[in-house]
Amino acid sequence: MLAPGERRVADVRAPVNATEEALYGATAENPSVGTLPPWNNEPRLAPTVHTTSFLGTFTRMVALAPARLDSLPDWWRQHARGERAEIASRLLLEEPRPEPLRLWRIGGSLRSPGRRRSIPIDLWLWPRLDAWTMLELAPKQDVHVGHRYFSSGQRVLDVLCSRLIRELDAAAST
C-alpha cells in the first residue's frame, strides 16, 4: 500500500530488456543491456589509470648570461671524474650536449633521500631574456614527490646554480 503522496516507480530496464531480447535475443555473446554496467548492481573494479606527472620537475630562472652557456663543456671537464661531475654529493651530471634552438641538455641522476636507487634526470638550460638562463631538472621516471624530495632537490640546485654563476662568469672574465 502506498502512503499519500508516494508514487510507484516502474522498472525502466524491463522494456529495454524485453525489446532488445525480442530483436536480438540475449545470448552469452550478446547480453541484455540491463545485465551490463552501469545497470547491474554488481561491484566493478575501477579501471587502471596510468598518469604521468611533471610535479617532480624543478624549474628556475638563473641570473646567468646566456652567452656563458657556451662554456658549459669546459666547465664540466674541469669538474668531471670519469664520465660524470658530482654536485653536492647528490647530483651526477654527464657531459653537456648542445641541442637546437640554443638549448643545452645534461643527462644524469639525482640521489633522493629514502630511495635506494638514483633517479635518472635531464637537466635543461636555455637562454631567457638578455641576462637570464632558464634551468629545468626533470626526472625521467615517476617519483614520489614529498617534502624530502623537494627540499633535497632545492638544496642541490642552490649549489649547482651558485657554482654555475660564479664559475662560468669567472671563466668568461679571464
**For domain 58-173, which architecture applies?**
2-Layer Sandwich (3.30)
- What gap in Å lies between CA 57 and CA 67, rounded to an integer? 25
- CB 143 within 8 Å of CB 119: yes
Q: What angle do CA 53, 54, 60 make, to 5 degrees?
A: 165
| Of 163, 159, 158, 157, residue with least CA distance to 57 | 157
pLDDT tens digit string along 28-63? 555 555 555 555 555 555 556 555 554 789 999 999
Domain ranges of the chain: 14-41, 58-173
- CB 26 within 8 Å of CB 32: yes
pLDDT tens digit string along 137-174? 999 988 877 888 888 889 999 999 999 999 998 776 76
- What gap in Å lies between CA 30 and CA 32, rounded to an integer? 7
